[in-house]
Structure 1
Amino acid sequence: MKLLAKILLCGFSIYSTGPLAAQQAISPEVQTLYEHARGAQAADQTDAAIADYLKILRLDPKLGAAYNNLGRLYYNEGRYSDAIPVLVRGLKIDPSMHPAEIILGASYFQTGVYDKAVSSLEAALRALPDDRFARITLVHSLIQQNSNDAAIQQLHKLTAIDPKDQEAWYLLGKLQLQLSQDAFARVHSIDPDSPLSHVLSGEIMDSMKNTAGSIAEYKRALELAPNDPSAMEHLADVYWHDGEWNEARDSFQAILKQGGSNCLVQWKLANSMDELNESAPEALKYADVALATCPTLGQARVERARILLRLGKPADALPDLLTAEKTAPDEPSIQILLAKVYRALGNPTEAAAADAKFKQLLQAEHAGQEKHAADVIRANP
């Protein structure tokens, strides 16, 4: 008498005991014990099921799938040290039992034998590349070995298989952050008073919303290297984000004087001058240069429209705003400007529609903020 094909495992939650043999004759006594083991497991009598598999293996020690099923039972009971020799022997009898390789690798991981865990799981994944449990266990094993680069490669494979794999994304971000921190620490250890070290410290201060600290670090970097382009742009951006328009304008102009220029610098300089209500024609030149370099830069297009409105040219501003709206249909500030343009053009209907859409977007934005705040409160009772 024969049993059905031996088990296939697809993930952590699908370790169900399966048939014992593929194309292998077994005795009626072994068949009876197997059926009894299945019934015992269904009744949550794991010890009885384990005892049946031990009897099966004494009767037929070359029945590979029985090792697989017994090893699985040991694993689910947390008896990892018992699972390992059973699975090793089973794989010697039948090396094609890749589900057993997964359980073996997981058992090695649970017992802290990470090198053997990696070896077993990598072998299993060559045959079962889509098995998530095997791959995520491999990731954890690699992390324990401080093999972060290899772990990151495996996490990229997981997110490619399932872009909504939250655990994989979490681990990926955590590992990349750790690698960044290690690299930053190395930068400081090489020369803590170099311009690069101070720029790095400024970026860290900036990420912590410590504006005064970041400005101090960027200024120190510029004391050491007055023409350092990275420090100059970082300092200008801090001033710009903080609404320090005079300092931002001067900093962006200093970048241009040093020969540094890109569309973001041109746009932000135009914006700073506009916020200071300075020469509109001069500010417009910078916005034009930004768009000539980067035609898809929506912020520069909106800024150009603002300046054109100041110059009394609403008809010229309208095409820029309509183009920007296509790129960012949910941006409320564009609707404010559209309403102003339509009113200036004598089109009250379109102006009213823009005002209504502005209010609608603003309400949606506030609702989103309130929901986020409520979620935070629920998550932190």
Structure 2
Amino acid sequence: MSPTDWRFWSALFAAMIFLSYSAAADCDTPQDPGAAIIDCTQSINSGKWKGRYLAAYYSNRAAAYHEQGDLDHAIADLNEAIQPDPKLAMAFNNRGAAYNEQGDNDRAIADYNEAIRIDPKFAMAFSNRGNAYSDKGDNDRAIADYNQTIRLDPKSAMAFDNRGSAYHDKGDNDRAIADYNEAIRLDPKSAMAFDNRGSACHDKGDNDRAIADYNEAIRLDPKHAMAFLGRGIAFSYKGDNDRAIADFNEAIRLDPKSAMAFDNRGSAYHDKGDNDRAIADYNEAIRLDPERAKAFNHRGYAYSDKGDNDRAIADYNEAIRLNPNSSLVYFARGRSYLFAGSVEKALADVNQASAHAPENAYLALWVDIVSRRNNLPGRLAQTSSRIDMTVWPAPVIRLFMDQMTPAAVLAAADDPDATKKKGQVCEANFYSGELSLTKGLKDEATRLFRLAASDCPHSFNEWDAANAELKALGVVP
């Protein structure tokens, strides 16, 4: 959820009220929320105030309740504020913010609409309405509102930050980073903007820049749990699972209810081969968020690695129920069916996975592999037109289409980037092993699977698949 602006509504009336009643002045100034509630209540109950003045006190007490996290009392006070002064744009804005925090985005948007109708130059209301649209997944309307916010208030770092997040959600990382850059220029102490830019850099595959941004976010705000979480994910992608786990530990310490942190720490333990600790973390992630499909999927992988395909499939079933459009979960379940010997079910699942992501070269490969296990012809000749054949794993695709040899694929896996080379060599060996297996060359397949099991990064699907294939061949990995 994007940060939503609340504001003590006192600027219009503070001077007049302060001049007349000094005892009420504390209600007009942001302070300790408990003290503000007492002062505002005294003013409300005094009977001295009517109309817009009474509305101001209700609105300010609502802001204090909001600071305490008491959204129900905040909304009740804002209802009271609106009754004597239905043209109080700030009260509609603040009530919208409370509804937004309660997850009622439709009522929030209705209130922001009214605030904007009353005051068409109310930049904060446009910004907050953009946040509500963003929370509903309507990033185009969110961006339109952030554009309007920036037009009205071109120095609003938060508006640039939020617009960047909307672009990020749309997958436009370059425009997102441009907006985060501007947010940071306007507010160099915004930990959130550095955190968000780090996330966009990570999504572009630049984990070093991501880590640098997360470092700065943490320096600015050592209690910023999301920055530790993001940095942990970046370390994980670099294969540094120990540093990743250290960051996830800190994220959990700062936010012990973060299902995402437990889920990601579980994945780091899984990548280290510690499936029992991984499963314990996935269990906690699911307890905290029973609708987190990723955690069920990840726990399924851990059970699969332990050879418990029945429990793995049960988890994949739940992940698919929660997210029926996830190609990754259909692929994972299909693979478990394959290793359990249910090749027809495996083919149905990998076909479904590929249908959700027809441009994914790896899914196309698995459709070919499982089709051959079902004594059906491969389909890469038909599906390769949807795949980018200028980048890896195009050589593997050509191998399965009899256009390259295993030796040529292994040579093509070479790369000056050692991490990239390691992954590509892993895949060259594994998929060459799969092709050998479909041709009945079990000894060669065993040799290649052993290489993959030995050398593949544990975070790669091919690593645990190689181990599963070796077990199916009756060979100790």
Q: Provide the TM-score with structure 2 as the length reference.
A: 0.38
Scaled by the length of structure 1, the TM-score of the pair is: 0.46
Q: Which has the larger radius of gyration?
A: 1
